[in-house]
Structure 1
């Protein structure tokens, strides 16, 4: 079970991040990064009952800035490579636990969950396994022994396992891996059964990429997990990697897909989130990336069985993306100098909007505010035209403080969808619509107004719908 340090300790830890960042600035010759505002990602995620995690590069844990960010901002960690088969069992029956043990010890020292990645995968296999010739029964024993040994090693220390990783082709058929070619689909069920026997309390996941929305691949995955459950195979959840591209993220489609798997009675999770862009980056791309990160977070937060989000790496400096996608990069929430990007703020905003700022009862400057005051903004939500299948809405928000960029949110009735909008950038996740400023109307003076409008389909919006600005609910006005 998760145990969290008191927030006073976390404030000291965040101060350590700032100090380490300043030291790193001298070492690497860049300006000291500005630090993200309180509270941390892990605190706002906790307020929603979800985890927020990151993949951890074992070789970077000695980097003070890197390890401080991982420890203070995340409450779940995933081994980027240290728990994969080639790292763990480089020779048959000879195990190297050094990297996995370091991650587990780091997590225990920082009150973090551990997401084990990954037990059975067609890639990053050791040479003896990849190139070896085995009978079917011997290969089945090899798989079962490996799963049993690794899960037993970390019994009660790893809370979730990616038991089987990337088992599908893009057309929804099972991948012709070494395991499938010799053992057929039964290797999947066998792996889950072995993992459950080794640790009855760990949650067991199947994980894949390009399955974020409904398509041939996710349909194949859906059929498999439905059938596994029907057969009594101990599968607890489905991981959706979400290696995405800036400007090509459909939050509503992601939410709907998460929900259909959740409706099978499964836990779902975003397991490897990064959103890459064509380099070089610029402010426009970074703002779009932030909106895309927000759309993914909102999608998870709208699904009650979505247990959390893991970003695949902390900073652009350490990302796998440039090595795999030529000319692309800048996919992470922190930049190459460990400065938080707009994507970081977007993740925080999503959790705050879903669960509120937890505050700190020991801090008189930030005691928390589960029922935020509405005096700083007022909003008029007016349905100017309506018909059986739609409506036209105008929204005017008056803000009590000057703004340089804004984000408004409101909920539509069930079954009512956003059709189009104007004077802002619109997205919808479930019933929640998020509107961010356009390039020309982000600057608002104190006492000034924000105006935008939109059209619905599938039904009409409701006059007087409450609107929030920057996570704070506005008074009716």
Structure 2
């Protein structure tokens, strides 16, 4: 983990700018630099004051599956662990009627997270699934115009609140995936994958030059590598590579996972584990080729499965954080309610009680990898030694607080001035 940890000499300055010598101070971590993420779908009603079921109009898409009366409780648990939220921009749900996007509700949700110190990501700008139904009524050129306009509009509308996007999702299978009639598949079949990818990245970057854009896929075979190579050779700028790992058919294990990570790390781009899940119930049969094909009435979490999930999650996160190319891990659900395919992937049971995995993750992210409030004493030059994971910190002395950030692993220096905000 040395690439994640700074050994810093922090100089504490008083309000007058002079070193605060021989003084008792407390140093604590306030945020990880590493993106520990989860979806924030469930909290759209909470952020919009829709906690009363009668206040939710029939046409409003809630996205998540958590009961409205659980959202305050769940949000506290969510914020205890995670610092990055993914919000849903599936076109067919975000704009089911042309010209009536759900912008205001998503903006309020993004602001709700931002106000709590959470980085927000949008998912996705281009995808051949959950597409706007009204696209089918348009000729191909107009479908493309509408897709380009959608990218420009949403990236512009959310700039400053959402500056990270999955620009295009699951493009390895985009031209040939059987998904019924939809406009995006028709467009991809006619124009090709590279055209679709270039459109997604270039339109988004034109709308917000400061944006971070991902290509994202579940197909982690050599087909994805070939596609990435083709994209890079075509001069399309990718900021990060998204890797989905829904482990409904069992935990892959550290060796297999890191071997996969190494294959994509060779491109020299940051890697984001965009969609991670580990089950706390029975494992999906191995013969299922498309996870979407496994539909059962109930998929309960079990005591044995929950113990297994806790162990596997800790191993999973340890192995990924140990790899220097991994920049983010995004888990796909805080609760089992409304989870994808109804699978028991959450860290919280449907009734709101905690699974062992929640405590295990808390012990890791906010325990072993976190600097709790630590009393220290400055030396004659106002310096204290601080060793911790890269991220944001605070130093407290005499009722004043100063912030500093550890950005560089290994030996480094930092400065914190008390009362600087006065």
Instruction: Report what 2:210 is aligned to.
Output: 201
Instruction: Report what 2:248 is aligned to.
Output: 245
TM-score (norm 2): 0.65
Instruction: Report what 2:139 is aligned to.
Output: 134
- In the alignment, does 2:169 pair up with 1:165? yes
Instruction: Report what 2:308 is aligned to.
Output: 288
- Checking the alignment, whether the CA contact within 8 Å between 1:244 and 1:273 is kept in structure 2 is yes
Give runs of aligned pairs for residues 49-448 of structure 1, distance below 5 A.
49-56=33-40, 57=42, 58-61=44-47, 62=51, 63-79=71-87, 81=88, 83-129=89-135, 131-135=136-140, 137-169=141-173, 175=177, 177-185=185-193, 186-211=195-220, 218-245=221-248, 247-276=250-279, 277-278=281-282, 279-322=299-342, 329-351=343-365, 356-361=369-374, 370=387
1:14-51 per-position Cα deviation (integer Å, ceiling 9, x unaligned): xxxxxxxxxxxxxxxxxxxxxxxxxxxxx79x44x311
What secondary structure does 2:144 align onto? helix
Shift of the alpha carbon at 1:305?
2.2
Residues in 1 aligned to 2:229 and 2:176: alpha-carbon distance in whole angstroms? 15
1:279-323 per-position Cα deviation (integer Å, ceiling 9, x unaligned): 44333221211222223212321221211111111111342332x
Q: CA RMSD in A?
A: 2.8
Unaligned stretches of 5+ residues in structure 1: 1-42, 212-217, 323-328, 372-477
Shift of the alpha carbon at 1:208?
1.9
Residues in 1 aligned to 2:354 and 2:252: alpha-carbon distance in whole angstroms? 21
Residues in 2 aligned to 1:300 and 1:159: alpha-carbon distance in whole angstroms? 24
Give runs of aligned pairs for residues 5-24 of structure 1, distance below 5 A.
none
Shift of the alpha carbon at 1:85?
1.0
Shift of the alpha carbon at 1:235?
1.1
Residues in 2 aligned to 1:223 and 1:282: alpha-carbon distance in whole angstroms? 40
Larger RCO of the pair (alpha carbons < 8 Å, separation 6+)? 2
Residues in 1 aligned to 2:349 and 2:386: alpha-carbon distance in whole angstroms? 31
Residues in 2 aligned to 1:346 and 1:68: alpha-carbon distance in whole angstroms? 17
Instruction: Report what 1:400 is aligned to.
Output: none
1:79-130 per-position Cα deviation (integer Å, ceiling 9, x unaligned): 1x3x22123333334433023112211122101100111111111112101x
1:155-212 per-position Cα deviation (integer Å, ceiling 9, x unaligned): 122131011112223xx9864623311221111111111111111111101112253x
Residues in 2 aligned to 1:72 and 1:290: alpha-carbon distance in whole angstroms? 17
TM-score (norm 1): 0.58
Residues in 1 aligned to 2:253 and 2:276: alpha-carbon distance in whole angstroms? 14
- Checking the alignment, whether the CA contact within 8 Å between 1:156 and 1:202 is kept in structure 2 is no
Residues in 2 aligned to 1:174 and 1:347: alpha-carbon distance in whole angstroms? 39
- Checking the alignment, whether the CA contact within 8 Å between 2:336 and 2:350 is kept in structure 1 is yes
- Checking the alignment, whether the CA contact within 8 Å between 1:84 and 1:124 is kept in structure 2 is yes
Say if 1:194 and 1:312 are closer, same or farther in 2 by CA, change over 3 A: same
Q: How many residues align?
A: 304
What secondary structure does 1:122 align onto? coil
